Structure 1
Amino acid sequence: MIRFLSRKDLKQLLTMEEAIAAVEGAFREYGEGRCHVPVRLPVEVPELDGTLLLMPAFLGGSEILGTKLVSVYPRNPEKTLPSVIALYVLNDAQTGQPVAIMDGTYITNLRTGATSAVASKYMARKSSTVLGIFGAGAQAEFQLWALKTVFPLRKVLVYNRTPVKAEAFAREMEAKYEISVEPASRPEAVVRDSHILVTATTSTTPVFQGRDVTPGTHINAIGAFTPQMQEVDEAVVQEAKIVVDTYQGALAEAGDLLIPIQRGVISKEDIYAELSELVLGKKVGRTGDLEITLFKSVGFAIEDAATAKLAYDKALQQGVGTVIGDL
């Protein structure tokens, strides 16, 4: 029987703490060599400024099998639609039979926030209290939620190229999460005052100047996901200790790194580690309070698979969702 889980169902079922634990466990399993995950397949829709991505994954240790179908259309907000829309199909790993279909957009948003929290746990200063966010779209809230779960945040600064969106985000998040959230009028105001920075945009050019980054800052660059997109500049990647979700994905898709590599500013050997190496303790994420660290993520299918399986297991336990029968 196939169970359908809506966004409302997923919100009822999943907590950020559980998602962080599930994602961290998935990276541990990946680091142990027990996952089979191809680089995602992109289908470009250049006439309409869109991309369709296919993201399958198999986690052998926990027997999780599934696929995400996700579209990225940066101009969707002009039509009052999210820029990222996704569907997730979870299969029985023993038989291949589909067992669940769920809102992949919520899964994507939750696991992206959770992944940033996992990386930041190993790479940011434990005493970090100020979060700076570039972008005021759907992902910005999940980044705030996830990082507030792990760090003693007391203030959030947000910058958006459309100031009214940053102002609306600040009002809503301040009320919802009971934390000070301030819109910033200039990028440098966010960069200079933040302990942790998140770039969650679809920009093809850097959203701040690397020279403004202060010693000890940790950066989660999570918005750019193609070789042509770049949210952080060359000054950042030259200075920072760089960790990626996977070497394979970063060297295929991460414009934040590929563009400086192509220009000879850095080499692929300057990438310090994959996140799984930090999770397994093979490498140390932060070695001093003045170190600048950068987590570059393009998204990894194990994150979706682990979060979807968590939702499905809880749905079975609690009787949540709609059973729609067999194929």
Structure 2
Amino acid sequence: MLLLSEEQTRDALPFPDLIDALAEIFRSGCVMPKRHHHDMEIPGEPDGTMLLMPAWVPGGYAGVKVANVVPGNSGRNLPAVSAQYLLSDARTGQMLALIDGGELTARRTAAASALAASYLARSDARHLLVVGTGRLAPNLIAAHMAVRSIEEVTIWGRSGEKTEKLVRKLREQFPARIEVAEDLTESLGKADIVSAATLSVDPLIRGAALKAGTHVDLVGAFKPNMRESDDDLVKRAEIYVDTREGCLSEGGDIVQPLQAGLISPEDIKADLYELCRADHPGRQSDESITMFKSVGAALEDLAGAILAYNNVKR
């Protein structure tokens, strides 16, 4: 059985190939039972979450990810997500590979955002604003650069010191101009693409601050009590999701407006299945504000794990 470290997993999942792999599995589909979602009490800090995410292609590959999400790890200088992925042969049941789940999760999450942006962001989008300074930030930059010609990146985080440190590091990795966002509201009004990856329970992305044509990518807030967008954004935007089932029950950016009666399930224009199968054309106007909400799906992990396994096995 192959054992893929964090570095090996990263090298085996180049973003252009990973984005293509996600598009293909959303087109072809797979068996994806509802994931297990368990709160874990952690004394003295917010609850953690254990996720169990199985998926398989009959007669092909099968896999399951076990992920622990611990918001309190930000104060320990540790990643919020710790995970492993077990890939198997779906015909024989043979265990094939144990893949670093944290790196797999970060890269497939960013790739799903970029896949959505390929349908929803304006073709001339050049300025990316990233809200959040965690593990996903550099992955979101690299993934969006794979689908749009990003020339300027602005980073906003709650901690100025942490944000400045990240910006210095990112300047060594990317050719784009990368700056600290001193004022979030002002930065929202300048960006062509806004990508938020936080564990916030209070809205950060104000719809009134956005210019026409902005694409908003909401990656964090994966539980019903979490939220990154405000009501103005939800009311202004054309809404898209990674999967309807997941976002209608889990993501606070969709669940809370639904409960408040601001939107109905019919207001979701399309999910990634429909976009990738050309059942919906995606963005149709340069002036529209588009909003993509993702909570993650097991088929994304499976597609990434298969790609990593085959790239390493060669």
Give TM class, smaller chain. Answer: over 0.9
Residue 153 of structure 1 and its aligned partner are, at CA, apart by 0.7
What is the Cα-based RMSD across aligned positions, in Å?
Answer: 1.2
Q: Which residue does 2:67 correspond to in 1?
A: 70
Q: Which residue does 2:36 correspond to in 1?
A: 41
Is the CA contact (8 Å cut-off) linking 1:158 and 1:183 kept in structure 2? Answer: yes
1:16 correspondence with 2:15: yes
Q: Output the CA distance in 2 between the equivalents of 1:286 and 1:13.
A: 31
Query: Which whole-Å deviations, capped at 9, do the CAs of 1:81-100 have from their partners, x for residues lacking one?
Result: 10011100001011122111
Residue 114 of structure 1 and its aligned partner are, at CA, apart by 0.6
Residue 208 of structure 1 and its aligned partner are, at CA, apart by 2.8
Query: Which whole-Å deviations, capped at 9, do the CAs of 1:72-129 have from their partners, x for residues lacking one?
Result: 0011121221001110000101112211111000000110111111000000101100
Kindly report which structure 2 residues correspond to 1:1-327, keeping only aligned pairs within 5 A, or say none.
2-30=1-29, 35-48=30-43, 49-60=47-58, 63-317=60-314
Q: Output the CA distance in 1 between the equivalents of 2:41 and 2:228.
A: 21
Residue 238 of structure 1 and its aligned partner are, at CA, apart by 1.0
Residue 13 of structure 1 and its aligned partner are, at CA, apart by 2.4
Is the CA contact (8 Å cut-off) linking 1:158 and 1:190 kept in structure 2? Answer: no
Q: Output the CA distance in 2 between the equivalents of 1:135 and 1:177.
A: 18
Residue 234 of structure 1 and its aligned partner are, at CA, apart by 1.1
Q: Could you list the runs of 5+ residues in structure 1 that have no partner in the other structure?
A: 318-327
Is the CA contact (8 Å cut-off) linking 1:26 and 1:59 kept in structure 2? Answer: no
Q: Match of 1:298, SS?
A: coil
Q: Could you list the runs of 5+ residues in structure 2 that have no partner in the other structure?
A: none
Is the CA contact (8 Å cut-off) linking 2:221 and 2:227 kept in structure 1? Answer: yes
Which stretch shows the higher mean deviation, 118-127 or 74-83?
Answer: 74-83
Which stretch shows the higher mean deviation, 14-23 or 192-201?
Answer: 14-23
Residue 307 of structure 1 and its aligned partner are, at CA, apart by 0.5
Q: Residue type of the partner of 2:238?
A: K
Q: Output the CA distance in 2 between the equivalents of 1:141 and 1:207.
A: 20
Identical amino acids, percent of aligned pairs = 38
Is the CA contact (8 Å cut-off) linking 2:3 and 2:97 kept in structure 1? Answer: yes
Is the CA contact (8 Å cut-off) linking 1:64 and 1:306 kept in structure 2? Answer: no
Q: Output the CA distance in 2 between the equivalents of 1:284 and 1:8.
A: 36
Q: Match of 1:100, SS?
A: strand
Is the CA contact (8 Å cut-off) linking 2:244 and 2:271 kept in structure 1? Answer: yes
Q: Match of 1:136, SS?
A: coil
Q: Match of 2:172, SS?
A: helix
Q: Output the CA distance in 1 between the equivalents of 2:11 and 2:251.
A: 34
Q: Output the CA distance in 2 between the equivalents of 1:237 and 1:187.
A: 18
Q: Output the CA distance in 2 between the equivalents of 1:22 and 1:235.
A: 34
Q: Residue type of the partner of 2:82?
A: I
Q: Residue type of the partner of 1:51?
A: T
Q: Match of 1:260, SS?
A: helix
Residue 222 of structure 1 and its aligned partner are, at CA, apart by 0.6
Q: Match of 2:71, SS?
A: coil
Q: Residue type of the partner of 2:268?
A: I
Residue 46 of structure 1 and its aligned partner are, at CA, apart by 2.8
Q: Which residue does 1:322 correspond to in 2?
A: none
Residue 190 of structure 1 and its aligned partner are, at CA, apart by 1.9
Q: Output the CA distance in 1 between the equivalents of 2:10 and 2:288.
A: 36
Q: Match of 2:173, SS?
A: helix
Q: Residue type of the partner of 2:17?
A: E
Q: Residue type of the partner of 2:33?
A: P
Query: Which whole-Å deviations, capped at 9, do the CAs of 1:239-291 have from their partners, x for residues lacking one?
Result: 11111111111111011011011111111111111111111111111011001
Query: Which whole-Å deviations, capped at 9, do the CAs of 1:294-321 have from their partners, x for residues lacking one?
Result: 110000111110011111111111xxxx
Provide TM-score, normalisation by structure 1: 0.93
Q: Match of 1:177, SS?
A: coil
Which stretch shows the higher mean deviation, 204-213 or 42-51?
Answer: 42-51
Is the CA contact (8 Å cut-off) linking 1:57 and 1:65 kept in structure 2? Answer: yes
Query: Which whole-Å deviations, capped at 9, do the CAs of 1:115-162 have from their partners, x for residues lacking one?
Result: 111000000101100000100111011000000111111100111011
Q: Residue type of the partner of 2:19?
A: I
Q: Output the CA distance in 1 between the equivalents of 2:293 and 2:152.
A: 23
Q: Residue type of the partner of 2:36?
A: L
Q: Residue type of the partner of 1:24?
A: A
Q: Output the CA distance in 2 between the equivalents of 1:40 and 1:294.
A: 24
